[in-house]
Structure 1
Amino acid sequence: MGSGQRMVQLEFDNLPRRKRRRLLARALLRPLLTATGLVTAYYLIPMDKPYSVTTVVALVLGLLAVSALLAWQTRSVSRSPYPRLRAVAALATILPLLILLFATSYFLLERSQPGSFTEPLSRTDAVYFTVTVFSTVGFGDIAPKTGAARSTAVLQMLADVFLVGVVAHVMLEAVRRGLDRRVKFEGQQQNAGPAPPDRPNGPAGDDLGPVG
């Protein structure tokens, strides 16, 4: 971390405790509400359609949607006055979406083709299996048996590698750009003299969202 980035971190640390708590609460509340909505929809939406080519296409489109969300979130992180908080919120939003996307696929596959796994899958079982694949724990109590189930699991493994490797690197780079942008902005503000009373202090006040 450069001296300018350390200065930004110190500035956050020196904020009033109430303001820091408000920023942290906002950073955690958004993904918490999003995850709650996704989980609620996962358990309430009827899933009676068979696993077919349409399901595979929907899964691929869902992964493309996650990639588009990642691109948008990366831009938001790099433009946020508090990029670290924004990055945590972004990852906390993308991860549940990815897990529930594959859990839905596994659940539909087992309903359409019973015996695709070593035991029948409830919705909770499908989430459990998805998390074990994502974490590479592999307890062995649930395993794919058919070609379709194994192909879906392989697709999830590739998506997990992408999330852990590429996404982590992209987010860290976005945080670095956001910190550099904040330092540059504040340097320009200091050179221009004190801001008017009604001008926000920083590129976007205390907002965690993108600037502009």
Structure 2
Amino acid sequence: MDREASERQDGVGRTTRLRTRVLMGHLLRSAASVVLLTGLYYLIPLDSGFTVSTVTLLTLGLVLFGGLVTWQTAAITRAPYPRLRALEALATAVPLFLVLFSASYFLLAQEVPQSFTESLNRTDALYFTVTVFATVGFGDIAPTTETARALTTAQMIADLFVVGVIAKVLFGAVRIGMRRRGTDDPGPDDAL
């Protein structure tokens, strides 16, 4: 093999290693976000009951969620790999959204046990939240009190917002980021 061919092969190897490192970095940060937010949900003390402060904290959490999505959207448009950055944004925003409602359902179930068809521990509350988010309907757990139904309805409306508007905003940011890079097509460096 001549020297020029060897240098080309070395360049291809470095490019492949760089792509792999970038992809793994984004995937690891995404996984870490999910694990961290889920771990915090299980570790933070939730013993105050469902009070006005719970509703206030849920509202503040949703405002934080909106701010996070806004910040992430701007970051996607400037990112060298917009699609990968959007994946990270979803891996942070969606678990945060789900954990906020899970904590609220858990606190409500602790304060008013008859709020659901069965008592909820943290895992049950998370399961119920994901069931509502995925719109697969109610099976074994369903809201039974007016407060639980109102909270569930609020989550359903917020779910529509998250799935529709937020996804559109993030995908729009990816398009802007791709145009900023000078291409609308996925290149070899952004192959997701």
Q: Which residue of 1 aligns with 2:80?
A: 81
Summarize the Cα distance change of 1:63–1:15 in structure 2 as closer, same or farther, 3 Å threshold.
farther
Aligned structure 1 segments of 4 or more residues deviating by more than 4 angstroms: none
Equivalent residues in 2 for 1:1-212, closer than 5 Å: 16-183=15-182
Structure 2: distance between partners of 1:76 and 1:128: 31
User: Quick one: which amino acid aligns to residue 96 of structure 2?
Assistant: L
| CA deviation map 1:143-162 (0-9, x unaligned) | 00111111111111111101
TM-score under structure 2 length normalisation: 0.86
Task: Output the aligned Cα RMSD.
Answer: 1.6
Note the residue ranges of structure 1 that are not aligned, 5 or more in a row: 1-13, 185-205, 207-212
| Count of aligned positions | 172
Structure 2: distance between partners of 1:90 and 1:28: 11
Greater relative contact order (Cα 8 A, min sep 6): structure 1 or 2?
1
Q: Which residue of 1 aligns with 2:5?
A: none
Q: Which residue of 1 aligns with 2:8?
A: none
Cα offset for 1:140?
1.9
Note the residue ranges of structure 2 that are not aligned, 5 or more in a row: 1-12, 184-188
Identity %, equivalent residues: 53
CA contact (8 A) 2:116 2:141 kept: yes
TM-score under structure 1 length normalisation: 0.78
User: Quick one: which amino acid aligns to residue 41 of structure 2?
Assistant: Y
**Greater percentage in helix:** 2
